[in-house]
Structure 1
């Protein structure tokens, strides 16, 4: 889905503010960092040191949680004194696994072997949160106290069940609060604070850390290692989860990344061989938030997405057995590889089912299938939500737990929102139809009886439809306008060092989006990535170099999950993020979005036509693209453009005709949904099969008209037909095509869309359609301006 681009505001930054930023790190330029801080509302000079330098931030005491933290300490002291059995109840995502690891590592300083255990629900069989069966098993094992992490706040029924069995519960969580306090020993949840409180946005892992911090202060003589040894785990969970990185969240992430950076030192006190090996496998150093968000976190999440059971993730993060950790890290890496392949293959299946919906009348996308793997539904739902600008819920009835049982069939799945819809409130409005539900405004998990899905879908769709007009438009905010030369200055370090000052980036402090105007791409190539064993993974990345008028030297970049034919071959405006590739030891950009270059910025590049040079012609352009034709116009004095052009040369032919006849130019082509390259290719193959079966011939020009593409693209399409198993002959004099099936067919297991000739055809179509999408909206003043170049 195309988003509006919001340009950075034109603000005058006070010189003393820039100086204050620069004083925090005299080696940086400071102007870019100052602009970002000012735009993001951080304008008080006295806030700058604590925001940019964690050593100058004053963290909040864990006892700010008040009576709840005091009660938690009393219950933990009792468990310590009487040597009770304690169980940690975790969660299967990265926040939950790291939170479990923080409690496991921290509490082992107080509880001996056999006293402490942990339990993480199976993603494939169980939902988030406490469940009766698990509590029953723990009680049978003699557990007296359960400490939850990243879950439990709203599990009232399960908490009451535990109480009846004589099991106390301490809840540490950051999700939605219950309507009234549950019957627990303590509930440590930052949602009880005001939103402005520095602890309000803590993720589950950070709440668990605050509990450990309080315990280390309460019983200071017992721990053999500092509580700060847990901070690397805290940073991993914080960066991985969707929480705002401000207040203590930002401080803990900063301190944790410092700790994580040291994990390449094998003689480090508190060394974690599992974390060290994960960093090696993802070819990262651990000194950047992106090393977590693009490296460690997806791998931890992949454990439960593929295996269901995430328990060995805790062992990976906390064990000191180097050999065992290397085995677990290799298993984690393979799970992440499998996750990528599964995600790609399932995305195609979801998109096929999506094609059956009328998206023009759909406010919320809800899809269900018997064979979808629950592990990657959240990732795919996020993709679909972003592509179509609609909240998306994907459900699977593929559950081993429910198989063969005489009860209602249950669907489990994940929901993801777009940037302006509170998903939690939307779904929670129909909580009476759900078996379980939990999450926050951007993401959620749920289970529901299959028979309830239709009424649930209708209810939330109707509710959101009534609110749509009140929602702000979808947009992408750009932060800085830069040139390629800015990226190259001192190898990009001036800009990059400024951006580093504001790390870690995340919710509330997003990675800066850099707008580069009027640029173009070269050396474009894509390929499947390989895993650490050299096996090809069905997951695409496209590499390129970006050039603009400021520098003749192309700057390296990458576009994840996209093919090279999706890169336009015309001048563009691009939104990118600047990052450091620790594997290749260089800076590079990640492409976020691209569109035709802004007309006022590149007239002299795009519109120059040799035959119109130095002509001072004027032309009146009438626009009927978005309005009905005015019947009062004098049709005899008008040159009509009835078909959307695909380049400036086509449009200029009409312009010249209108100028020669002293008439007007009328744009009368309508904004329609342009066919995708894949749809056109499938149409071409269908025509080829028909011609082969009937032995008919077709004129090359007629074929181009049928497909609505240009002659060059048609010829590339014919090359693709040959590679997939057709014989094509063209009589150049008559322009007649004859197509027959070849005896040598392409291997049926080959992905036809990945063949080189098919990719070249796709590239040509994408370029045509990219240009057409531009001419569907090109302003009339731009056409007039092109005549005076």
Structure 2
């Protein structure tokens, strides 16, 4: 095991005691809340019992009034509206959400959607998409999850008299596109209080703004949050504030969704207890697969289809594409690993390139490389017009967007977040870029960012794992960035009974630890820890873990998911 254990600072005892007396939780539970910034009755109320008053007015967002008025004018005048979005999960859920909302108030003959072809048009707003709009009589495009840096494309659209409303959540550049309206809470001049919305979240705020005019029943509006929950989980945005409220709301609607495509994607036995982790591992890869291997239009059609037979055909196609994506991912990852391991250079970053790699999976490959070579990573392949394209992934809290911005004069375009980004670049700039990027990482990366770390919330006693704690733990959900599952530590323990290997190749293991207060054993599962079976059998150890729920035939049980272990000699 190679992770560095970083213990979070002990919270102020007076604040913990104040929380204990005001909300009635125990010491451990109150401590975990304070570590999340929940340190008084009001913040605890907002966290555990959010309500409609916790939503911010959409009109706090810069340009929202302009966007609502322009769409209302288009509807009143019978203009054709094109809903445009990126080909990843956030983009396709954004398009589906906006299309479904508008279809409640607009005749579908005036409405359509457009997803760019990853392999032909690349990321973001494309000339081809604008030309499609012009040639087919669309005078207004609502762009979602993209557009904040599309200065030249918006200028092109303006010349063709095609108006744009941009709904984005990526970091803007120095210049804002000259669209009719640009909705992005990360704009410096935007006073919207919550800055961490997904692209789909910005689209939902626009729907809320429109609903002040069109008055769709609130329950119908919030039914669309099942798509928003998928977006929030898949785009790995902060699970705090409004995102957490929307995700919690969205999960409720997802568990009883009436969208045929989503119901067919979710196994019936999981539906009642579907959580954020299920979205990340069960739904997101399948929705993404269409855009990675084929065309993401199928993903949108899956989410908006009201025809069961059509939805089943799309689901079958997407599952086949996901199987193909997995095989391609494995092959390209191995090829990239070989490049890294054959290099003799000592470096602070990982940069690999092969012109034959599929653009659709290089982001996944970058993440895989970080798992084994813990460095800021870029995976390059060839684009369509002689340029190179790359997906970038980062480590810990190293800001890869900022690192790429330092090199941005070399790029045709780039964009993204602190943890993940993408770019395109002329091939002639590649060698210079490698030197510049490596130099920036070398000069700016911190020591704690150079090795995998696990942040520990608290050391506990095994008797702390009781019914009250499990109930509290469930209320902390939904989990995600900035509201992760608590990582707890048990010190100096031993296996009670046997250690059993699991999985086809014995890669995983299971054992139990004894709880004296109940005279029961607690199940522990270690994924990819099969090689340590003998150590677990013969040594005492400190265990870092998260608590997981298991639902089976109406019964709920709990197990400890081993995140790391330190064996005693």
TM-score normalised by L of structure 2: 0.90
- Give the match's secondary structure for 2:177: coil
Identify which range, 422-431 or 193-202, moves more after superposition.
193-202
Match for residue 18 of structure 1?
Answer: 20
Match for residue 548 of structure 2?
Answer: 579
Residue 460 and residue 295 in structure 1: after superposition, are their counterparts in 2 closer, same or farther (change >3 A)?
A: same
Distance between the aligned counterparts of 1:83 and 1:543, measured in 2? 62
Distance between the aligned counterparts of 1:72 and 1:486, measured in 2? 52
Residue 423 (str. 1) matches residue 423 (str. 2):
no
Distance between the aligned counterparts of 1:569 and 1:520, measured in 2? 10
Residue 509 (str. 1) matches residue 479 (str. 2):
no
Return the offset for 1:292. 1.8
Return the offset for 1:118. 1.1
Match for residue 496 of structure 1?
Answer: 470
- Give the match's secondary structure for 2:412: strand
- Aligned pairs for 1:61-460 (under 5 A) are 61-66=57-62, 68-192=63-187, 198-220=193-215, 226-263=220-257, 271-280=258-267, 283-307=270-294, 309-358=295-344, 361-397=346-382, 399=383, 401-402=384-385, 409-460=386-437
Match for residue 553 of structure 1?
Answer: 521
Aligned residues: 556
Please report the RMSD computed on the Cα atoms of aligned residues, expressed in angstroms: 2.7
Residue 416 and residue 324 in structure 1: after superposition, are their counterparts in 2 closer, same or farther (change >3 A)?
A: same
**8 Å Cα contact 1:232/1:259 also seen in 2:** yes
Distance between the aligned counterparts of 1:282 and 1:275, measured in 2? 14
Distance between the aligned counterparts of 1:121 and 1:419, measured in 2? 32
**8 Å Cα contact 1:285/1:291 also seen in 2:** no
Give ranges in structure 2 of 5+ residues lacking alignment.
none
**8 Å Cα contact 2:116/2:122 also seen in 1:** yes
Residue 594 (str. 1) matches residue 562 (str. 2):
no
Residue among 34, 38, 41 paired with 1:42: 38
Identify which range, 383-392 or 477-486, moves more after superposition.
477-486
Any idea what the Cα deviations from partners look like across 1:112-141, whole Å, max 9, x if unmatched?
Answer: 122111111223343221111221122111
Return the offset for 1:420. 2.9
Distance between the aligned counterparts of 2:361 and 2:280, measured in 1? 17
**8 Å Cα contact 1:520/1:569 also seen in 2:** no
Residue 57 and residue 594 in structure 1: after superposition, are their counterparts in 2 closer, same or farther (change >3 A)?
A: farther
Distance between the aligned counterparts of 1:339 and 1:480, measured in 2? 39
Any idea what the Cα deviations from partners look like across 1:184-219, whole Å, max 9, x if unmatched?
Answer: 110010112689964211110110000011111123
Distance between the aligned counterparts of 1:218 and 1:453, measured in 2? 51
Residue 583 and residue 168 in structure 1: after superposition, are their counterparts in 2 closer, same or farther (change >3 A)?
A: farther
**8 Å Cα contact 1:30/1:498 also seen in 2:** no
Residue 19 and residue 293 in structure 1: after superposition, are their counterparts in 2 closer, same or farther (change >3 A)?
A: farther
**8 Å Cα contact 1:483/1:548 also seen in 2:** no
- Give the match's secondary structure for 2:282: helix
Any idea what the Cα deviations from partners look like across 1:570-626, whole Å, max 9, x if unmatched?
Answer: 4333322222234675433333233324xxxxxxxx5xxxxxxxxxxxxxxxxxxxx
- Give the match's secondary structure for 1:384: helix
**8 Å Cα contact 1:127/1:436 also seen in 2:** no
Distance between the aligned counterparts of 2:28 and 2:280, measured in 1? 23
- Give the match's secondary structure for 1:553: strand
Residue 471 and residue 311 in structure 1: after superposition, are their counterparts in 2 closer, same or farther (change >3 A)?
A: same
Return the offset for 1:224. 10
Distance between the aligned counterparts of 2:441 and 2:223, measured in 1? 46
TM-score normalised by L of structure 1: 0.66
Distance between the aligned counterparts of 2:546 and 2:190, measured in 1? 29
Residue 368 and residue 172 in structure 1: after superposition, are their counterparts in 2 closer, same or farther (change >3 A)?
A: same
Distance between the aligned counterparts of 1:439 and 1:506, measured in 2? 19
**8 Å Cα contact 2:375/2:450 also seen in 1:** no
Residue 505 and residue 167 in structure 1: after superposition, are their counterparts in 2 closer, same or farther (change >3 A)?
A: same
Residue among 458, 478, 488 paired with 1:480: 458
Distance between the aligned counterparts of 1:495 and 1:479, measured in 2? 14
Instruction: Tell me which structure has the larger Cα radius of gyration.
Output: 1
Return the offset for 1:494. 3.2
Residue 426 and residue 452 in structure 1: after superposition, are their counterparts in 2 closer, same or farther (change >3 A)?
A: same
Return the offset for 1:8. 4.0
- Aligned pairs for 1:709-788 (under 5 A) are none
Distance between the aligned counterparts of 2:310 and 2:104, measured in 1? 22
Distance between the aligned counterparts of 2:271 and 2:326, measured in 1? 19
**8 Å Cα contact 1:32/1:498 also seen in 2:** no
**8 Å Cα contact 1:21/1:33 also seen in 2:** no
**8 Å Cα contact 2:169/2:199 also seen in 1:** yes
Return the offset for 1:318. 1.8
Residue 34 and residue 89 in structure 1: after superposition, are their counterparts in 2 closer, same or farther (change >3 A)?
A: same
Residue 60 (str. 1) matches residue 56 (str. 2):
yes
**8 Å Cα contact 1:109/1:224 also seen in 2:** no
Residue 112 and residue 198 in structure 1: after superposition, are their counterparts in 2 closer, same or farther (change >3 A)?
A: same
**8 Å Cα contact 2:395/2:449 also seen in 1:** no
**8 Å Cα contact 1:174/1:190 also seen in 2:** yes
Identify which range, 179-188 or 120-129, moves more after superposition.
120-129
Residue 480 and residue 568 in structure 1: after superposition, are their counterparts in 2 closer, same or farther (change >3 A)?
A: farther
**8 Å Cα contact 1:49/1:57 also seen in 2:** no
Any idea what the Cα deviations from partners look like across 1:410-457, whole Å, max 9, x if unmatched?
Answer: 222210001132101111221222222110110011222233211111
Residue 168 and residue 346 in structure 1: after superposition, are their counterparts in 2 closer, same or farther (change >3 A)?
A: same
Structure with the bigger RCO (C-alpha within 8 Å, sep 6+) is 2
Return the offset for 1:563. 6.4
Distance between the aligned counterparts of 2:88 and 2:116, measured in 1? 10
